[in-house]
Every structure is written in structure tokens, then in C-alpha cells.
Amino acid sequence: MKKIINWLVIIFAIFGLIGVRVLEDKIFYDPFLNYFRGINQQTHFPDFQWNKLILSHLFRFGLNLIFSAIIIQFMFKRRVWTLQAILMICLVFIITFPIYLYCVSTKFEIGHLFSFYMRRFVIQPLILLLIIPMFYYRLKMRNEGHGANQKI
């Protein structure tokens, strides 16, 4: 029964991440959604409000972080690993968010493709796709006896 509840929570969190993505144009302020969708049609650089843009991205990051942490915690059941995942996700955001804001401030002069991918790292929980296999490998190595004397 615990395993079923565990998987239901993980599925709930996955649907939470999907919901953030599906409802992005309704619950977040992001004038660059349509800009990047229509980049091949010479879309003009949109007018935007800095404060609303930053707060919206921070809110979205917070939601993605919560759902990602729930997934990690219920998959691996190791609080330290969940805290490590939160730290890694926050570090990636701390690095990519200012770069993305710089790209916005220069109207993507650094390059549309580069700016697009910086934006992806800011608004999508891509790092989760790296953390889960890393922690799974770590768990597998621990269970096989590799590093039995090490605290993982």
C-alpha cells in the first residue's frame, strides 16, 4: 500500500510539472512565449515589464522546484539527496537566470538560439532529467556494494 501511495504522489508531481507547462500562457506573465514560437516569421521584440517578468519567472521556478523536490523525495526516500537536488536546481537557476535576463536586456543580440536555450533552463525543470539518472546510478552502486564504506 505504501508503494502505491508513493507512486501516486510521484505521478501527482509529474502532472504538476505538466500542468505548469500546459497552463504557462494562462498563469505566468511571459511575453516571450509567442516571440519564440514565431521567431521564423520575423516577430518583433515584444514590449514587457521587467518586474512582472522577473516575478513570474521566480514563481514558475518555485512551482517547478516544489514538484521536482517531491519527485526526488518520493523516488529515492533520502532527505539528503532531496536537499542536494534542490541545491543543484537552485545553482543552475542562479547561473542561467541572470544570463537570460542579460539576453533579454540586449534584445537577444547574443543570439536567438542561445537565448532560447537559456530561457529553457530558466522556465523548464530540465536539470531534473539529469538528477534522476544520477541518483538512480548512485543508488544502484550503493546497493551493489560499491562504496559500502562510503556515505552516499
| Residue 147: predicted pLDDT | 54
CA distance 104 to 151: 43
pTM, whole model, 2 decimals?
0.88
CA distance 54 to 145: 46
Long-range contacts of 34-41 (CB under 8 A, 24+ apart): 36/116, 36/119, 39/112, 39/116
| Residue 41: predicted pLDDT | 58
How does pLDDT run along the chain (152 residues), one tens digit per residue? 889 999 999 999 999 999 999 999 999 999 998 888 776 556 788 899 999 999 999 999 999 999 999 999 999 999 999 999 999 999 999 999 999 999 999 999 998 889 999 999 999 999 999 999 999 999 999 888 755 555 55
Q: Which residues contact 68 (CB under 8 A, 6 or more apart)?
A: 13, 17, 85, 86, 89, 125, 128, 131
- Residue type at 95 in one-letter notation: I
| Residue 36: predicted pLDDT | 83
Domain boundaries, the chain: 2-126
| Residue 42: predicted pLDDT | 62
